Structure 1
Amino acid sequence: MAEAERAAGSPPGAVQSVIVPVHNSECWLDECLKSVWEQDFKQTMELSIFNDASKDGSAEIIAKWKVKLEDAGVPVVVGSNDSAQPRGVGFAKNQAIIQSSGTYLCFLDSDDVMMPQRVRLQHEAAIQHPNSIIGCQVRREPPESTARYTRWINNLTEEQLLTQVFTSHGPTVIMPTWFCSREWFYHVGKFDEGGKGVPEDLLFFYKHLQKGGGVLRVNRCLLLYRYHPQAATHSVHEETIWNHRVKFLEDRVLSTWTSFTIWNAGKQGKKLYRSLSPANRKKVTAFCDVDEKKIAKGFYTFEESEERPKPKIPICHFREATPPFIICVKQDLTGGAFETNLSMLNLKEGRDYYHFN
């Protein structure tokens, strides 16, 4: 941009905007913003913060880091909701994006910490994949919290980033690691602003996939991902997530299948069956399991049905079952027994089965 335009008060557009929504984050904010300051990214970068009605010392910490970052050549844009009530994470993220100017968006939660290489490495990947959400591997803090979840995040294969999008874990690259182009973000549409209790990251992720977006992960640990009781994630009801997942599964997979088997004749498998639309319930040919007691019952009767006679779904051993499967068995919990049984069938994930747990 010409110097005359800059002098007229029009800021130069940055290559990279780091997007940070803030609400009562004084415990973690210093460390979070220090990690922006420590980035080794050599091109233009800005920080865009939106302070959503914080009542603690967050504003003072932001003001301190604004001076320090701008002294280091990183412009800082600060917006705020000064009303009594926060508008929620979706709103705060959208506002931080609207007020920013970068060609690429790097999302950072105010309680997390970036490694110095994060922006540089994800930016390199994003240039190659302009219609993708780029994630990364993470280190959980405290280390013993959500161990299965962390293993899942870090170890999914490239294919599983797209096939395991129906599990209860949510997006296959977690929101605090997201990195994408501004153009693609606006193509997908903004975050849901419903506020507390709305899984805005999951809904955005589903829209992204529906519009043909890719999912990639930089296989380096580039984020310290904190677990604590105040995290916004805890405000979303499991039932809300479940209903969104079922609908997404029906739209993306079951609409293309004429029949399928539910792998799990227990609580989760039956819950999935009951949650399906009447048309998709009719496609369920059987439940399968390894539990001899469940198999011995022979069938599951859908008692809530108003049909007469009530639907009875056969229950069989997994070796006698016919693919494709929707698998409602939790992974990484049976000492490898379930995974061994599944691999014995020589099926292809994403064609012959999908995980839904």
Structure 2
Amino acid sequence: MFPQRVRLQYDASVLHQNSLIGCRVQRLPEGSTERYTRWINSLTPDQLVSQVYTSHGPTVVMPTWFCSRKLFLKVGPFDEGGKGVPEDLLLFYKILRQGGGLLRVDECLLVYRYHEKATTHSVTAETIWKLRVDFLQERVLSQCENFTIWNAGKQGRKLYRSLSQTNQRKVKAFCDVDENKIQKGFYTYEESKERPKPKVPILHYKDASGPFIICVKLDMTGGVLEENLNSLQLKEGIDYYHFN
């Protein structure tokens, strides 16, 4: 920790007693998990809330956590299930479910060390995936009459197959930029027990309508995804949500 960490986060917690408070970090070794570190440090206040569904996990990362005793006693302790339990994600979701806020002190107050034997590597991708899908369904999809999955490829189809049957029926289309996928016209859910098997249209993103669940990784397309979203003049957290 940097010397001013406790003072600055304590000052923030006095003003925001129902919020989980984080800070910016310096990664060690320098340059490790470059995309993840950039994400941690550059999220806007609104994105701390709107991007809680991404595969990066908590938008306020656990090593930076600071909160009032009042909030901690309200939410309860970590899940002590042991190896393979994503205790930070579970507690993070509990805080949000109970109406807690999210805040970041915009100063670098912590050196966040990366090493290959970190406990986080013991949590399986499928465990995280199921928790994230359930949280997305609970917080976003349950409020939607219908929605579009942005990505007709592997990740978009995986999300569709992971949804409850009720939410699968709300998927009005997939959208994409890949002409080969668009020309196919439909995605057929072959594993479905329904007859006839569900067929979901595949559209160009300009022909699709929101709200969108984005299943394309952030910061991986050289800005193309972000430009496409901006061109549609959509508002994050209302018209679209990042899932990957």
Match of 1:346 in 2: 233
Q: 1 CA distance for matches of 2:99 and 2:235?
A: 21
Secondary structure in structure 1 of the residue aligned to 2:67: strand
Is 1:191 the equivalent of 2:78? yes
Per the alignment, residue 224 of structure 1 pairs with 111
- 2:123 maps to what in 1? 236
Tell me the distance in 2 between the aligned counterparts of 1:179 and 1:262: 35
Task: Give a deviation string over 1:98-129, Cα, whole Å, max 9, x none.
Answer: xxxxxxxxxxxxxxxx0111000000000000
SS across alignment from 1:354: strand
Which of 281, 284, 289 is residue 176 of structure 2 equivalent to? 289
Deviation at 1:333, TM superposition (A): 0.8
2:225 maps to 1:334? no
Secondary structure of 1:122's aligned partner: helix
Deviation at residue 183 of structure 1 after TM alignment: 1.7
Give the letter aligned to residue 338 of structure 1. Answer: L
What letter matches 1:125 in structure 2? A
Counterpart of 1:271?
A: 158
Q: Letter of the aligned partner of 2:205 in structure 1? A: F
1:182, CA displacement in angstroms? 1.3
| TM-score (ref. length: structure 2) | 0.99
How far has the Cα of 1:153 moved from its partner?
A: 0.3
Tell whether 2:139 aligns with 1:252. Answer: yes
Provide the residue aligned with 1:172 in structure 2.
59
* AA matched with 1:266: G
Post-superposition shift, 1:204? 0.3
Q: How does 1:32-111 map to 2 (within 5 A)?
A: none
Deviation of 1:230 after TM superposition, in Å, equals 1.4
Q: CA deviation at 1:294?
A: 0.6
Name the CA distance, whole Å, in 2 between partners of 1:143 and 1:340.
29
TM-align CA RMSD? 0.5
Question: What letter corresponds to residue 71 of structure 2 in structure 1?
Answer: W
Distance (Å, rounded) in 2 between the aligned partners of 1:291 and 1:144? 32
Shift of 1:324: 0.3
Q: Which runs of 4+ in 1 moved over 3 A?
A: none
Structure 1 unaligned spans of 5+ = 1-113
Rounded to whole Å, the distance in 2 between the matches of 1:331 and 1:203 is 23
Equivalent residue, structure 2, for 1:126: 13
- Structure 2 residue aligned with 1:202, among 69, 86, 89? 89
Whole-angstrom CA distance in 2 between matches of 1:166 and 1:189: 22
Deviations 1:263-317 (A, max 9, x none): 0000000000000000000000000000011101101000000001100000000
Deviations 1:320-353 (A, max 9, x none): 0010000001011111111100100001111111
Equivalent residue for 1:211, pick from 66, 83, 98: 98
TM-score in terms of structure 1 length: 0.68
Decide which structure has the larger Cα Rg and report it: 1
Equivalents in 1 of 2:170, 2:115: separation in Å? 42
Q: Which of 202, 206, 210 in structure 2 is aligned with 1:315?
A: 202
Letter aligned with residue 140 of structure 1: R
Q: Tell me which of the two structures has the higher relative contact order, counting C-alpha pairs closer than 8 angstroms and 6 or more residues apart.
A: 2
Within 5 Å, which residues of 2 pair with 1:23-34? Answer: none
- Residue 176 of structure 1: how far off its partner (Å): 0.3
Identity %: 70
**Aligned residue pair count:** 244
Residues 133-152 of structure 1 deviation map (CA, whole Å, 9 limit, x = unaligned) = 00000011111210000000
1-side partners of 2:88 and 2:108: how far apart? 21
Q: How far 1:186 sits from its partner (Å)? A: 1.4
Q: C-alpha distance in 2, partners of 1:237/1:145? A: 21
Unaligned 5+ runs, structure 2: none
* Rounded Cα–Cα distance in structure 2 between residues aligned with 1:264 and 1:119: 42
